[in-house]
């Protein structure tokens, strides 16, 4: 049996083959550090067709089914978590929580009981940052405050963290990382080939949106801006929406889905394309001409970094300490104010009418990711964090 320098239990709300930003980042980190760190994976799922125990990328993965409804199911899930922890407690020194919620409390209690080091990676401003935890109740914040280390993926997390009384030395700023080989620019010839493969129009200028159909991800803001400012002026443009529209998904707003489907009915599969799910999202990044992130709230958006890594001109809503930390307006992308309804339309037109600008923004975007957000650099920072928590003898 291989002896690892460190052993970590990675805890996420979902994991491959389920697709979420947190799951993607966790899997990338496991892949990058698997020669140095022994990983064990614990996740929850509402998909009863997925196996409760399996191996993914060589690491043991345990899924705890979460059923909405009965008290019996709730206590059954608690029993499974406790049983798993007690059975595998010798297989990890560190518990690395990717996000924090009420479900995390039990794991914190067990980790303190068995003297495991706790890392909390905060995933989204307004959701699991320290001030958000305080607003959600004294009890939740009390357990959140017991971690040995906190990771924020953007400067806004650090600013919020420092407003609390949590020890300043426990915070680390470590951004999300990108696989720069998987996400890389395409040539004009490659773009045509990929579009043929995906069944997309070969000559249309395509705008890409990636995210669940929720109010916070705001696909409606992009659609409204395109219809009002772009559709008639640039009749050779279209939008690809990638993300779940399934109202059973906890992040999806059913009313928003209905509204968008009604508005796009006349141009469905002509100028507007919906992709519910894909495991080869890099092909879509390599097939389109620009990327738009109209979100109202983010942690550090993977899709934005992936688009930039592919050399696309990106347009994103200005989120203080998050997107404006990544994108320098007019240099490696464009920022717009989501509260100004015409701002996105103007940004779209600016990029669409100026191919030289679009090319320049894309080149600088790729450089930004290579310099600051490659997964190799991010993995080294996590390895250093583990080393600080578990000093080697």
For 96-155, the pLDDT digits (tens) are: 999 998 889 999 999 999 999 999 999 888 889 999 999 999 999 999 999 999 999 999
Q: What is the 3-state secondary structure (H, E, C) of the chain?
A: CCCCCEEEEEEECCCCCCCCHHHHHHHHHHHHHCCCEEEEEEEEECCCCCCCEEEECCEEEEEEECCCCCHHHHHHHHHHHHHHHHHHHHHCCEEEEECCCCCHHHHHHHHHHCCCEEEEEECCCCCCCHHHHHHCCHHHHHHHCCCCEEEECCHHHHHHHHCCCCCHHHEEECCCCECCCCCCCCCHHHHHHHHHHHCCCCCCEEEEEECCCCCCCCHHHHHHHHHHHHCCCCCCEEEEEECCCCCCCCCCCHHHHHHHHHHCHHHECCCEEEECCCCCHHHHHHHCCEEEECCCCCCCCHHHHHHHHCCCCEEEECCCCCHHHHCCECCCEEEECCCCCCHHHHHHHHHHCCHHHHHHHHHHHHHHHHHHCEHHHHHHHHHHHHHHHCCCC
* 6-177+374-389 CATH choice from 3.40.50.300, 3.40.640.10, 3.40.50.2000, 3.40.1170.60: 3.40.50.2000
Q: Is the pLDDT of residue 283 over 50?
A: yes
Please tell me the predicted confidence (pLDDT) of residue 69: 64
The arithmetic mean of pLDDT across residues 14-32, rounded, is 90
pLDDT in tens, 350-387: 999 999 999 999 999 999 999 999 999 999 999 999 99
158 pLDDT tier (thresholds 50, 70, 90): very high
Q: Is the pLDDT of residue 161 over 70?
A: yes
Please tell me the predicted confidence (pLDDT) of residue 67: 72
- pTM exceeds 0.85, yes or no: yes
User: Could you tell me the residue ranges of all domains in the chain?
Assistant: 6-177+374-389, 188-372
Please tell me the predicted confidence (pLDDT) of residue 141: 95
pLDDT in tens, 3-13: 677 899 999 99
pLDDT in tens, 340-349: 879 999 999 9
Distance, in Å, from the CA atom of 11 to the CA atom of 55, rounded to the nearest integer, reads 15
2 pLDDT tier (thresholds 50, 70, 90): low
Contacts of 360 by beta carbon, 8 Å cutoff, 6+ apart: none
Q: Is the pLDDT of residue 393 over 50?
A: no
pLDDT in tens, 196-248: 999 999 999 999 999 989 999 999 999 999 999 999 999 999 999 999 888 77
Name the DSSP letter for residue 168.
G
Q: Under CATH, to which class is 188-372 assigned?
A: alpha beta
Distance, in Å, from the CA atom of 227 to the CA atom of 102, rounded to the nearest integer, reads 41
Distance, in Å, from the CA atom of 373 to the CA atom of 375, rounded to the nearest integer, reads 6
Half-sphere exposure of 385 (CA within 13 A, CB side): 27
pLDDT in tens, 65-77: 887 666 777 788 8
Please tell me the predicted confidence (pLDDT) of residue 3: 63
Please tell me the predicted confidence (pLDDT) of residue 20: 83
The arithmetic mean of pLDDT across residues 257-283, rounded, is 93
DSSP string for 234-287: -TTEEEEEES---TTSTT--HHHHHHHHHHTGGGBTTTEEEE---S-HHHHHHH
Topology alike, domains 6-177+374-389 and 188-372: yes
Check: CB of residue 197 under 8 Å from CB of residue 181: no
Q: Is the pLDDT of residue 295 over 80?
A: yes
Distance, in Å, from the CA atom of 353 to the CA atom of 337, rounded to the nearest integer, reads 20
pLDDT in tens, 184-203: 999 999 999 999 999 999 99
Q: Is the pLDDT of residue 392 over 80?
A: no
Whole-number percent of the chain with pLDDT over 70: 98
Query: What are the structure tokens assigned to 32, written together?
Result: 């990058």
- Rounded mean pLDDT of the chain? 93
Query: What are the structure tokens assigned to 85, written together?
Result: 């922890």
């Amino acid at each position: 049996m291989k002896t690892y320098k460190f052993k970590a239990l990675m805890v996420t709300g979902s994991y491959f083959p389920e697709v979420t930003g947190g799951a993607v980042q966790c899997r990338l980190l496991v892949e990058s550090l698997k020669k140095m760190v022994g990983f064990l994976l614990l996740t929850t799922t509402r998909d009863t067709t997925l196996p409760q125990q399996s191996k993914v990328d060589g690491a043991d993965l345990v899924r705890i089914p979460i059923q909405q409804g009965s008290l019996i199911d709730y206590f059954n899930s608690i029993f499974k978590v406790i049983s798993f922890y007690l059975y595998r407690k010798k297989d990890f020194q560190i518990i690395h929580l990717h996000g924090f919620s009420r479900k995390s409390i039990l794991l914190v209690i067990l980790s303190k009981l068995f003297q495991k080091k706790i890392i909390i990676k905060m995933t989204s401003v307004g959701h699991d940052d320290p001030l958000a935890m305080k607003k959600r109740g004294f009890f939740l914040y009390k357990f959140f405050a017991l971690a040995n280390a906190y990771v924020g993926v953007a400067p806004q997390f650090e600013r919020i963290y420092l407003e609390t009384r949590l020890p300043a030395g426990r915070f680390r700023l470590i951004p999300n990382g990108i696989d720069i080989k998987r996400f890389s620019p395409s040539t004009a010839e490659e773009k045509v080939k990929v579009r043929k493969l995906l069944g997309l129009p070969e000559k249309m200028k395509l705008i890409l949106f990636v995210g669940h159909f929720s109010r916070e991800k705001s696909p409606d803001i992009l659609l409204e801006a395109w219809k009002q400012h772009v559709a008639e002026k640039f009749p050779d443009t279209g939008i690809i929406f990638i993300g779940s529209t399934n109202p059973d998904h906890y992040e999806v707003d059913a009313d928003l889905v209905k509204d968008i489907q009604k508005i796009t009915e006349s141009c469905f599969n002509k100028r507007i394309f919906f992709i519910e799910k894909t495991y080869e999202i890099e092909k879509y990044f390599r097939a389109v001409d620009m990327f738009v992130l109209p979100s109202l709230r983010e942690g550090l958006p993977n899709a934005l970094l992936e688009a930039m890594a592919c050399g696309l001109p990106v347009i994103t809503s200005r989120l203080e300490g998050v997107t404006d930390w990544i994108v320098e307006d007019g240099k490696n992308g464009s920022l717009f104010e989501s509260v100004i309804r015409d701002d996105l339309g103007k940004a779209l037109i600016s990029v669409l009418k100026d191919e030289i600008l679009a090319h320049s923004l894309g080149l600088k975007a790729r450089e930004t990711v290579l310099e600051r957000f490659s997964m190799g650099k991010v993995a080294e920072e996590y390895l250093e964090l583990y080393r600080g928590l578990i000093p080697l003898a």
